[in-house]
Chains A and B, each alone.
Chain A
Amino acid sequence: MSVLSCEQVRDLAEGFVLGALDPVQTHDVRDHLATCTEAHPEMDELGAVVPYLAESVEPVEPPVELKGRITAAIEAELRAGRRADAAADRLISSLGAGSVRPAAAAVVETPSPAPAPVAERLPAPAPIDLATERARRRSPVRWLAAIAAVLVIAALGAWNIGLSSQLSTAQQQQAAVDRVLAIAQQPGGQAAILVPGAGGGPAGLAAVASDGSFALAMHGLAATSGSQVYEAWVIAPSGSPVPIGSFAVGSDGNGALSAARVPVASGLTVGLTREPNAGATTPTLPMVVSGVTAQGS
């Protein structure tokens, strides 16, 4: 589904290949080309010389220390990847070892009009096998599915309320987790595991797509009251916190948020703060949970 027609895309071709469109147009053209079944030879015809514009520039020797900065940045990212692994371990341990199994059996009795077949997607009630999960978890996107399942199951297990409301909450949580997974698994999508600085407590997942789509699903948050909200923040490696949106949390402890056009960079920090009101422009520290996004492969 493209917002632009082939004709409009042809008209924007020279701006697109040069990188001289505004971000919305660029996104729309890219979107069109990714899904269009028609040929767009004008892109090749006009774009073929563009790489040579880059090569027309006079080469300049960069400062000597730049090479060291690059290798240091790569090492830092490798370490962050290992931290994400450790965070995943903690999360799976804390959620997977606990009250994982109860509600799954009840959910099987889902009334038929239920939109999402929650039960089918819940893994067997057996606890998560940590060794297996650790082995699977070389790439962030591979461990996502496991953690997503844990989030849903843990949410179910934690409640002692009527079946029907439990069910709809479970479906909401499943839908929220699905949104996160869909974004994380897009090409260029990134995901973060959100955990508190120390100890157990709330946990969740966030994902950012390369087009700036964002989704977050949380479990175990303390309920908000009055005008209180949880505000989500995205912090680029060299930027300041950008507020993404806010949500209130009820007694189930679940929270979800979707947004479009959040800042995109690699290694984004995603965090949640508890704010007295919606609309905060600077975060009230400390972060309730935070995590750094990593790209799948």
Chain B
Amino acid sequence: MSDASARVAGRLNSAADDADRAVLEAIAGGDHGAIEVLYERYKTMAYGLALRITGDASLADDVVQEAFVGAWRNAGRYATERGSVKTWLLAIVHHRAIDAIRRRRPTTELPEHEEAPPPSLTLPDVWSEVAGRLDREEILGALATLSPVQREALELGYFSGLTQQEIAVRTNAPLGTVKSRMRLGLLQMRRAMLGAPPDGGEPA
């Protein structure tokens, strides 16, 4: 992405956030059709994420359906939370998808997960300003700065539905090692994302 197009994308992102919030307000106000606007905007990201986690097209269908119905139902609660609508929506998709695969796994006890998406995070301004402008390429670039074991730990932690304990068994590493790989991986990714200038230049 060129410098100019990255800057434009950054502005579009923040305009899109405002537009998304307006859609949620409309839904909360009783405009039930407005969910279609949100769906059209995020269906490919939501479906991509659901498919990546479940690895099963029909399960991904169910997950995305549940997530959008859940977003419709909880639209009124979004207003008080922080973070973009996109982040909120994808967190719901993630949560539903992990639930779905854990339920299907016969050896795992049935997890009685909560409905609500994870608590929203209070993100420092500088972070949302920088991170909000990164496109997928740049996010992948930040992931690429992790060591292979750190990246594997993050990916297993976020996409596999396995618990840290299960990941330790799967990767034949002590639990403490898995935990510190995840921790260092998250911190390194953050550093790499902050180091990548918002105008799309080379990462520092």
Contacts and interface: CB of A to CB of B under 8 A. Distances in A.
Interface of A: 11, 13-15, 17-23, 25-27, 30, 33-34, 43-63, 66-67, 69-71, 73-75, 77-78, 187-188, 210-212, 238, 261-266, 295, 297
Given A18-B157, A210-B114, 7 more contacts: A23-B113, A43-B121, A48-B127, A49-B193, A51-B90, A54-B90, A70-B68
B114 A47 contact: no
Contacts of B83: 51
B115 A210 contact: yes
Interface string B132-144: 0010100110110
Given A48-B123, A63-B61, A264 B157 contact: no
Contacts of A43: 121
A295 B157 contact: no
Contacts of A187: 77, 116
Contacts of B159: 53
Given A19-B118, A45-B187, A53-B158, A212 B47 contact: no
Nearest to A67: B39
Interface residues of B, number: 77
A54 B43 contact: no
Secondary structure of the A contact surface, majority rule: helix
Contacts of B72: 74
Interface of B: 32-33, 35-36, 39, 43-49, 51-52, 57, 60-62, 64-65, 68-70, 72-73, 76-77, 83, 86-87, 90-91, 93-95, 98, 109-116, 118-119, 121-124, 127, 131, 134, 136, 139-140, 142-143, 154-159, 162-165, 167, 179, 182-183, 186-187, 189-190, 193
A187 B61 CA distance: 27
Secondary structure of the B contact surface, majority rule: helix
Given A21-B164, A66-B64, A74-B35, A57 B98 contact: no
A62 B112 contact: no
A22 B158 contact: no
Contacts of B167: 20
A294 to B, nearest CB: 10
B112 A54 contact: no
Contact of A60 (B47, B65, B76, B90): B47
A18 B154 contact: yes
A14 B182 contact: yes
13 contacts: A20-B167, A44-B122, A48-B124, A52-B193, A53-B154, A55-B136, A56-B143, A57-B48, A61-B43, A62-B47, A70-B68, A74-B72, A188-B116
A62 B162 contact: no
A77 B73 contact: yes
Contacts of B43: 61-62, 66-67
A77 B190 contact: no
A158 B116 CA distance: 40
Kindly list the 10 A-B residue pairs having the minimum CB-CB distance in the complex, ordered from nearest.
A59-B44, A62-B47, A23-B111, A18-B157, A20-B157, A54-B90, A212-B112, A60-B48, A51-B87, A14-B182
Contacts of A49: 131, 142, 186, 189-190, 193
Most buried by B among A11, A14, A187: A14
Contacts of A262: 112
Contact of B94 (A19, A45, A47, A78): A19
